[in-house]
Amino acid sequence: MTVLVTGATGTVGRHVVRHLLRAGEKVRALTRDPAKADLPEGVEVVAGDLTDMGTLAQAFDGVTAAHLINFASDYKPLRNGPEIVDLALRAGVRKVTVLGGWQEGTLEPAVRSSALEWTHLRPIEFMGNTLADWGERLRADGVIREPYGDRKGATVHESDIGAVAAVALAEDGHAGETYTITGPEVLTPRDKIRILAGATGRDLRFEELSPDETRKQWVEEGRLPEMLLFKVFGDDPQIGHRERVEFLLQVYGSDHEIGSTVTGVVEKVTGRPARTFAEWAAEHADGFRP
């Protein structure tokens, strides 16, 4: 079978591709710019844009399974979900995984009400956000000053999202499942700093700020972790800096049962334990060194 991977050049998509290749599957990757794709040998790279149906026929031709992202640029949900599902069915696709995000677009409902065998992947916070959000500050002075240092999260290694997707696409028994994908343990920001200090051999520290101190710092200095905010709001100019600050404070200060409960999905689906944050930190330690 040929498996089409959309978002193949992205954080999760690269792992989906790698795990499918390792499982011996034939992989076709969709990208808007094949020249920049830099995908492993053996992957068939095709050009296409998920928002432009006229560019997608070749990508789906001869495909029996597909990994689908539900967003386009700036993580805005796709508006043409039903058209993509129609094209997939006409091309002979039987099975899909859909990578879900914070916003459900038109793709998920179209997939759910179709004849496709679908599996929804709902990962929680990626371990990689740590590098995007903290990398620069830890490289500079080794200190993270944030509120709510004891907030809990069962952060997930991106490779495990790819591993779950590959199994759901290549094997039977996952149709109709919605998998909340987490890491193997619940960690706080303080735990992560301790683990990163061990991985880098550096003296890294977490200094807790009160919400008011945080507000002052983030508003006045314009310093706030951007990853989550960007993925929720994109670069929408209507959403001001203060609004983003308040949103982030609210997210950090609330309990999120889904984000802080270990689900065991990775081990159940792949048969191997979910990767730990310590493993992720060892792999990415250089990103936290000056």
Ligand X SMILES: NC(=O)c1ccc[n+]([C@@H]2O[C@H](COP(=O)([O-])OP(=O)(O)OC[C@H]3O[C@@H](n4cnc5c(N)ncnc54)[C@H](OP(=O)(O)O)[C@@H]3O)[C@@H](O)[C@H]2O)c1
Q: Kindly list the residues in this chain that would bind ligand X in the complex (CB under 6 A).
A: 6-13, 30-33, 49-51, 69, 71-73, 75, 99, 101-102, 123-126, 129, 231
Task: Report the residue number, 32 or 139, with the smaller CB distance to ligand X.
Answer: 32
Task: Report the residue number, 51 or 106, with the smaller CB distance to ligand X.
Answer: 51
Task: Report the residue number, 72 or 219, with the smaller CB distance to ligand X.
Answer: 72
Tokens of 273: 């334990």
Task: Report the residue number, 147 or 162, with the smaller CB distance to ligand X.
Answer: 162
CB of 18 to ligand X, least distance (A): 13
Residue nearest to ligand X (CB): 101
CB of 249 to ligand X, least distance (A): 18
Task: Report the residue number, 19 or 142, with the smaller CB distance to ligand X.
Answer: 19
CB of 206 to ligand X, least distance (A): 19
Task: Report the residue number, 125 or 142, with the smaller CB distance to ligand X.
Answer: 125
CB of 106 to ligand X, least distance (A): 14
Task: Report the residue number, 49 or 86, with the smaller CB distance to ligand X.
Answer: 49
Instruction: Count CA atoms within 13 Å of residue 207 on its CB side.
Output: 10
How do 117-123 and 177-181 pair as beta strands? Answer: parallel
Residue 176, phi-psi category: left (phi > 0), alpha (psi -120 to 50), beta (remainder): left
| CB proximity list for 141: less than 8 A, separation 6 or greater | none
Task: Report the residue number, 149 or 183, with the smaller CB distance to ligand X.
Answer: 183
CB of 127 to ligand X, least distance (A): 9
Phi, psi of 212 (to 5 degrees): -65, -40
Please give the full DSSP string across the chain, using - where no structure is assigned.
-EEEETTTTSHHHHHHHHHHHHTT-EEEEEES-GGG--PPTTPEEEE--TT-GGGTHHHHTTEEEEEEESB-GGGPBPS-HHHHHHHHHHHT--EEEEE--SS--SHHHHHHTSSSEEEEEEE-SBTTHHHHHHHHHHHHHSEEEES-TT--B--B-HHHHHHHHHHHHHSSS-TTEEEEE--SS-B-HHHHHHHHHHHHTS--EEEE--HHHHHHHHHHH-----HHHHHHHTT-TTS-HHHHHHHHHHHHHS--TTTTS---HHHHHHSSPPPPHHHHHHHHGGGG--
CB of 97 to ligand X, least distance (A): 12
CB of 33 to ligand X, least distance (A): 6
